[in-house]
Chain A
Amino acid sequence: MSPEQPILPKDAAAAEGKVNVQINGTWYRFPKGTRIADACNSVGVHVPCFCYHPKLSVAGSCRMCLVEQGMPPRLAPGATPTYNEDGYQTIQWMPRAVVACANTVAENMGIRTNGTVCTQARRAVLEFLLTNHPLDCPICDQAGECKLQEYTADYGSPTHRFTEAKIKKGKHIEIGPRVNLDQERCVLCRRCVRFMKEVVGEEVLGVVGRGGHNAIACYPGKTLDSNYSMNVVDICPVGAMTSRDFRFRMRVWFLKSTPTIDVNCGTGTNIYVWSREQQVYRITPRQNDEVNSCWMPDSHRLNYRYINSGKRLLTPLVKTDAEAPQRAAAWEPIIKAAAEQLRLCDPGQLAFIVSARLTNEELFLAGELAQLLGVKALDIVPRRGESDGMLISADRNPNSTGAQIVLHKNGGTLDNIRRGIKIGKIRSLVVLGEDVTAEAAITAEQLAALDYLLVIDHTENATTQAADVVLPGVTFAEKYGTMVNVTGRIQRLNRAIDPLGEAKADWEILAALLRECCGDLPGAAAHATSAQEVLDVMAAQIEELNGVSWASIGNQGQQIIDTGVSIPLIDREKANK
């Protein structure tokens, strides 16, 4: 071989641990072992899949991902391969299609998804899948986000040759407390069976019967009652598994999905909030391989009703006299009055109880306010539970790590504040986003005995009822902000709906109070016009947040510190790779 012989593409690719694959006429390089389906999808060539899910084992049963495949011809004994001017061997196309999910790419492989072989295969698979399908799309909850509907529109046949009677199977079976099963709509991809077996480890679902009578079922006496059961609704490509919470409530195409994070525990599961106008209808998990994979617990998913509950605080409330009932007030005078009252308080007799359910920006502004007033007594309310060994963290506050970074508080001095209130040393209290009569164990009588109680919260509770001034904040779905999860990953909250009524985002209220309190003093954070600007101020002041910006966090979050805490489910997933 002469030295100026050009390097063949196969050798160049092999040096990188990759292989050359021709997809619809264009050559690409993929790492060895990439599944054909993943390879095609990564370069924008869509391969439809029902049964294949990247987080589950490969079943290869739906046959929807059939593609035309070719390899270089097998050489005669003693022959050497020949290469064309581009350095590739000719591809000999196979007469029959192969499944793209169960096969991996190989050197000089050819894939075609736009030829007759592939088109016919997809059309035939869909025709078989639709033989016994009830075609009840008008009343099906999955309509609009159904893979069967989508693929039939994309690749299906306009006519139907099946004229026989359809096989009847079980419908609206309450297979679990939160999930309903429709066996007729099922395409038997078995994603739900594999999810329950492989991810949850409870093999409650199975396939019974044979041929056209095949159906998903659970054994009598067992139910799909795992706290992760509703994930089968998400992974079900059709309307066979439906959420009993969401079914028949809203057509999905009217809903807007907002990427944000869950605030029920320290994991900070990535989610979508699905809303229409000012109403939240459902929450689904959003993939983040460092936080929650593709899943989320049912208990967190269903905890959204409080956003639109009738108990929401919609206007500022003020108590003019100790015995008088609270009455609605306008924002401007009440902020002025509250700031004045706070300035009048003896800083030694004033305490702040803030929530680790607030965003970093809000905690930061609360800290600034306390500092400005000279208040030392400030802490969060710790909220500990038990980890479920999957995604639910033992820390039930979503932003304890953030409170540690921003305020250097972890609930350790809450006892002192509680004692101060008890013995009457603390006469005034500012409560942000907590019902202190619950976890903080301060009694309603103690609250009533205070000189001044200012509360910022979104929902009416025993603490807001006892308050002299209530400033209506918002829930996580109505504001922007950032939180740091238990592993030390900063993540973004996005606004899905506008603040209800006259409520304002908590950071806005705190910034307004801060502006009123500091008078003419220039304070960068107080004058911020958005949560993002508060973050920029924090990024400049707090070491851990140096270099962090709204854009750098992105939708997948950014690891800022290593807390040494990990998420069990993610650990397992990484170990199995």
Chain B
Amino acid sequence: MTEPTDAINVLAEDIPSPGEKFYPSFKPTPELEAEAREYVAMYPEGRELSAVLPIIHMVQEKFGFICARSIPWIAEMCKSTPIHVAGVVSFYPGIRRKCPGKWHIRVCHTIACAMSGGEDLLKFICGKIGVKPEEMTEAEPMAVSADGLWSIEAVECLAHCGFGPNVMVNDTLYSRVTPEKMDEILEEYRRRD
């Protein structure tokens, strides 16, 4: 059971992650602001709030996750409030409050993939990248390896059900993944390092 005040403070607390060394830390530069303003300009006046998701995605792509410092900045950009942005961020599982590893592995565990070997594959990958499957909890579904190189997360449908099990590494989708194939994929990324 959490302490009562934590229920509020947790909204502005960063969860430390070894992956942070592979991403720049959030800085509200003029360039970043200009980029955010472009998104805001896409919507009619008075509807600046609509840009909240595009800006969140932009920040996550650049900095790996939505850190506590970026929430008030995002709110300022789309003329909203920090609590609203925090609400959006905490609603979507795809939006992270913790920095992933350099290579973020998403393993589908929806029924088709789970039945075609996804469950075992998840455990297999955990072993390969050196994290424990128990580290993936309901509260913190993503586990990051100690070297910060890898992170793993069980996700819902990756929309390629006929070709399971599906795995996504950063933005690349791999289908019909077997442990052998996974070994090759991981090796490939390791070499890229």
Contacts and interface: CB of A to CB of B under 8 A. Distances in A.
Are A and B part of the same complex?
Answer: yes
Interface in B79-99: 80-84, 86-87, 90-93
Given A171-B4, A206-B87, A210-B91, A220 B81 contact: no
B2 interface: yes
Contacts of A220: 8-9, 11-12
Nearest to B89: A208
Interface in B1-47: 1-2, 4-9, 11-12
Contacts of A175: 8
B6 A170 contact: yes
Contacts of A158: none
A207 interface: yes
B11 A170 contact: no
A66 to B, nearest CB: 25
Contacts of A208: 11, 83, 86-87, 90-91
The interface centre, meaning the residue of A170, A183, A203 with most chain B CB atoms within 10 A of its CB, is A170
A172 B5 CA distance: 8
Contact of A218 (B4, B6, B80, B83): B83
B86 A206 contact: yes
Contacts of B7: 169-170, 173, 183, 215, 217
B90 A221 contact: no
Contacts of B84: 203, 206
A209 B7 CA distance: 11
Given A170-B7, A171-B4, A204 B81 contact: yes
A499 B86 CA distance: 52
Nearest to B3: A170
The interface centre, meaning the residue of B8, B12, B82 with most chain A CB atoms within 10 A of its CB, is B8
Contacts of A160: none
Contacts of A171: 4
Given A219-B11, A219-B12, A172 B4 contact: yes
Interface in A303-344: none
Given A206-B81, A217-B11, A220-B9, A170 B86 contact: no
A168 B11 contact: no
Contacts of B92: 210
A220 B93 CA distance: 21
A168 B83 contact: no
A222 interface: yes
Interface in A180-231: 183, 203-210, 215, 217-222
A210 B71 CA distance: 18
A213 to B, nearest CB: 8
Given A183-B7, A217-B11, A220-B11, A206 B83 contact: yes
Nearest to B138: A213
Contacts of B81: 203-204, 206, 219
Nearest to A221: B12
A479 B12 CA distance: 51
A220 to B, nearest CB: 4
A208 B90 CA distance: 6
A204 B83 contact: yes
Given A203-B84, A222-B82, A209 B90 contact: yes
Contacts of A169: 7
B88 to A, nearest CB: 9
A228 to B, nearest CB: 17
A219 B5 contact: no
B53 to A, nearest CB: 15
A214 to B, nearest CB: 9
Nearest to A180: B4
A171 B84 CA distance: 21
Given A208-B90, A210-B90, A170 B83 contact: no
B8 A170 contact: yes
The interface centre, meaning the residue of A169, A205, A209, A217 with most chain B CB atoms within 10 A of its CB, is A217
B40 to A, nearest CB: 18
Contacts of A210: 90-93
A215 B6 CA distance: 13
B90 A203 contact: no
Interface in A447-477: none
B6 A219 contact: no
Interface string B57-94: 00000000000000110000000111110110011110
Nearest to A213: B90
A173 B8 contact: yes
Contact of B8 (A207, A209, A217): A217
Interface in A133-178: 168-175
B94 to A, nearest CB: 12
A219 B13 CA distance: 11
B12 A170 contact: no
B86 A219 contact: yes
Contacts of B93: 210
Nearest to B139: A213
Given A170-B7, A171-B4, A173-B4, A217 B91 contact: no
A166 to B, nearest CB: 11
A209 B11 CA distance: 10
Nearest to A172: B4
A173 B5 CA distance: 6
A224 B125 CA distance: 46
Given A205-B83, A210-B90, A168 B9 contact: no
B8 A168 contact: no
B22 to A, nearest CB: 28
Contacts of B83: 203-206, 208, 217-219, 222
Interface string B164-190: 000000000000000000000000000
A263 B82 CA distance: 38
Contacts of B82: 219, 222
Contacts of B90: 208-210
A168 B91 contact: no
21 contacts: A170-B2, A170-B5, A172-B4, A173-B4, A174-B5, A203-B80, A203-B81, A203-B84, A204-B81, A206-B83, A207-B87, A208-B11, A208-B83, A208-B90, A209-B90, A209-B91, A210-B91, A220-B8, A220-B11, A220-B12, A222-B82
Interface pairs A-B: 8 shortest CB-CB: A170-B7, A206-B83, A219-B82, A220-B12, A219-B83, A203-B81, A208-B90, A206-B87
Given A206-B81, A221-B12, 13 more contacts: A170-B4, A175-B8, A203-B80, A203-B84, A205-B83, A206-B83, A206-B84, A206-B86, A210-B92, A215-B7, A217-B8, A219-B12, A220-B9
